[in-house]
Structure 1
Amino acid sequence: MTDRSFLHALETLELVCRLGSMHQAAARLNVSPPAITRAIRLLESEVGATLMDRSTKPARPTEAGERLARATRNGLALIEDTIADIRTENSSNDNHVTLACTIGMATYWLMPRLPNFYARHPSITVNVQAPPLDRPVLSRGIDIALRYGRGDWQDGETIKLFDERICPVGRPDVIGRALKQGGLSQALLIDVRSTSQHWLGWTEYLRASGETFRPQGEVFDNYIQAVQATLDGRGLMLGWKSITSEQVSDGTFGSWPGGDKDVGTAYFISSSKTGGRKAAAQSFVKWAVDMARDQ
């Protein structure tokens, strides 16, 4: 087994132990369940021990498997901390800002607007980091975080950018077809599920709307895949203001009639206690607040 495949197998085992299921790990990694099984069997051959108890349904990690997964988790955490330290040591320049946000927020809200920031502040460099668990925090080396929730964080100064709203969206022809056929219960509903985020899913949305049917459709672990599937006409997704507002504004997506909901959450920008003192970070915060106000 090569060093690369060995590391991949360790990460696979850690994910299976953390999620408690080979099938969930396969869905998270966007691979087939047999691929997960093969990776763990190769790892068992390498370490000379049984790592998964396959006599149970679903299979559960053995004591050796738990130990190895825990060691892998600790090792990855150490690597992440070391990278953060290096990033901090090399980002002391006041014209450098390191920002954390979700992949969806970076792709659909921040990146289309970032050229405007550079036009106003050409001497400042913004380093955008999407954390592995898609949950932005003000960890070491992070000056600013764009994050979703209720604004009750205590790790820095937090300012609300905009209230988040949710509404089913999709291509106009897909929405029209579903309306003619009888409503959401007749549509394929594209869902996003992640153990690391607290987004509202279709099940919760339908329950809040008084619907009793079970959603049917594809499931993804990030919004980039879900948006692409929706663009391809494969169903409807729950559209969040931070992610699908541009597609709705330009007519690429339509909104489900009467489907808009305020779920009591918002997007915020938080500055760390140290990084927030940098003039470049303060300039970015002011710019982001202006962008959110004008959108």
Structure 2
Amino acid sequence: MLRFEELKYPIDPMQLPSLRNLQIFEVAARHQSFRDAADALFLTPGAVGRQVRALEAELGVELFARVGRRVVLTPQGRELQLAMAGALKLLADSTSRLKREATQQAGHISVTVLPSFSSRWLAPRLKSFHSGHPDTRVDLIATIAPLNLAAKQISLGIRFGSGKWEGLASELLADESLFPVAATKGINGYDGLPSSPNHLLQYPLLNPYDEWGEWFKRAGVVGQIPNKGVTCEDSLLLIQAVERGDGVALARRWLVMDAIRTGAIVRLPGPTISARRGYYLVYPESQPLSDSARTFISWLKEEIRTAQAEETDSTTALDPKLGSSET
């Protein structure tokens, strides 16, 4: 990295071409198209062309050769593009480092997490973290997209999957499992709740029907799974449908844990099956964890251990018919 004392000052800004023209040139050179550059810059192709011609006039060289309706870089244009790429890389690296250092010093961490896990489990527990660490700010980024944590300067992620993501270190936080649930108040249009796995076939099943096949097989139920009604693949919307009394869902344990504890949702008779995936803590391999991030990780793991212990205590009073067979 270039040291401050190695810089040669003064740098006369009057000797530099227009920075705006350089910016437009870089985008046009990257796209090899004035039209595509115009779309990226929210300009017209004519405006891009005028700025490029102005830069060519400033430098006294031709940067693009016009070949029919296309533009291609001249040798001089390629030389300038390489210089621009190097300069932008230096700027990107420096600003990225400054942002990271500012984040670490300020006691600020960002965590990307699935909306379902965020709203149903993590967010309600953050109050306890803030009570113990009032000087640390936690920004939750709820999204189903697997964001590039390093590029976006995101400290941590909580992902649902197999634990393997390129460029990320991962630690298993908790396995996930599935079992049937319904609203404690009942299911709209039906008298009472299902009393056995066989009885579930008479009620609206809210998951996509192929998800029920393994569960009914494990429960020893032989029969045609009804292929009718409205289903929902989104886990968050699925639980909301259960709470409205729309039907029965095969729900993820961690997403309904609190609702079962408060009595809004009830677990129905039948086995528990493995989801074959789990919740993983992830962070960029190329970035050291800040002290604030390490503190958050320790708190998160303790919260998970506490939740597991509380759930174990509560299941001792469950009806034995509920079962507990994992695949």
Question: TM-score range with shorter-chain normalisation?
Answer: 0.5 to 0.7
Name which of 180, 183, 187 aligns with 2:199: 183
Asked if 2 retains the 8 angstrom alpha-carbon contact of 1:104 and 1:224, the reply is yes
Structure of higher CA gyration radius: 2
Alignment of 1:126-137 (within 5 A): 126-131=138-143, 133-135=144-146
- The TM-score with structure 1 as length reference comes to 0.60
- Could you tell me which residue of structure 2 aligns to residue 57 of structure 1? none
- Could you tell me which residue of structure 2 aligns to residue 266 of structure 1? 278
Asked if 2 retains the 8 angstrom alpha-carbon contact of 1:169 and 1:256, the reply is yes
How big is the shift at 1:240? 0.7
The verdict on how the C-alpha distance between 1:249 and 1:190 changes in structure 2, with shifts beyond 3 A counting, is: same
Q: Which runs of 4+ in 1 moved over 6 A?
A: 85-89
- Could you tell me which residue of structure 1 aligns to residue 121 of structure 2? 109
Letter in structure 1 aligned against 2:118:
A
The verdict on how the C-alpha distance between 1:253 and 1:137 changes in structure 2, with shifts beyond 3 A counting, is: farther
Letter in structure 2 aligned against 1:218:
V
The verdict on how the C-alpha distance between 1:204 and 1:222 changes in structure 2, with shifts beyond 3 A counting, is: closer
Asked if 2 retains the 8 angstrom alpha-carbon contact of 1:171 and 1:253, the reply is yes
Alignment deviations for residues 138-171 of structure 1 (CA, whole Å, 9 cap, x no partner): 3522211111122233423322211211111111
Alignment deviations for residues 183-228 of structure 1 (CA, whole Å, 9 cap, x no partner): 221111123xxxxxxxxx5413324532541443323353332222
Q: SS state of the match for residue 206, structure 2?
A: strand
**2: CA distance, partners of 1:249 / 1:183:** 24
- Could you tell me which residue of structure 2 aligns to residue 93 of structure 1? 103
Q: SS state of the match for residue 140, structure 2?
A: strand
- The TM-score with structure 2 as length reference comes to 0.55
Name which of 120, 141, 164 aligns with 1:152: 164
Alignment of 1:61-72 (within 5 A): none
The verdict on how the C-alpha distance between 1:136 and 1:294 changes in structure 2, with shifts beyond 3 A counting, is: farther
Letter in structure 2 aligned against 1:138:
L
Q: Within the alignment, does 1:209 sit opposite 2:216 as a pair?
A: yes
Alignment deviations for residues 103-134 of structure 1 (CA, whole Å, 9 cap, x no partner): 00110111011011111111111111123x44
The verdict on how the C-alpha distance between 1:93 and 1:231 changes in structure 2, with shifts beyond 3 A counting, is: same
- Could you tell me which residue of structure 2 aligns to residue 256 of structure 1? 268
Q: Within the alignment, does 1:138 sit opposite 2:134 as a pair?
A: no
Asked if 2 retains the 8 angstrom alpha-carbon contact of 1:101 and 1:136, the reply is no
- Could you tell me which residue of structure 2 aligns to residue 170 of structure 1? 182
**2: CA distance, partners of 1:161 / 1:251:** 26
Alignment deviations for residues 71-114 of structure 1 (CA, whole Å, 9 cap, x no partner): xxxxxxxxxxxxxx999865632111111111001101110110
In structure 2, the gaps of 5 or more residues are: 1-93, 308-327
Q: SS state of the match for residue 178, structure 1?
A: coil
**1: CA distance, partners of 2:243 / 2:210:** 22
Asked if 2 retains the 8 angstrom alpha-carbon contact of 1:275 and 1:281, the reply is no
**2: CA distance, partners of 1:266 / 1:235:** 26
**2: CA distance, partners of 1:87 / 1:254:** 48
- Could you tell me which residue of structure 2 aligns to residue 121 of structure 1? 133
- Could you tell me which residue of structure 1 aligns to residue 294 of structure 2? 282
- Could you tell me which residue of structure 2 aligns to residue 293 of structure 1? 305
How big is the shift at 1:268? 1.4
Alignment of 1:34-45 (within 5 A): none
Q: SS state of the match for residue 135, structure 2?
A: coil
Greater relative contact order: 1 or 2 (C-alpha under 8 angstroms, separation 6 or more)? 1
CA-based RMSD of the aligned residues comes to 2.8
The verdict on how the C-alpha distance between 1:282 and 1:179 changes in structure 2, with shifts beyond 3 A counting, is: same
- Matched residues, percent identical? 20
The verdict on how the C-alpha distance between 1:125 and 1:292 changes in structure 2, with shifts beyond 3 A counting, is: same
Q: SS state of the match for residue 190, structure 1?
A: coil
Q: Within the alignment, does 1:236 sit opposite 2:241 as a pair?
A: no
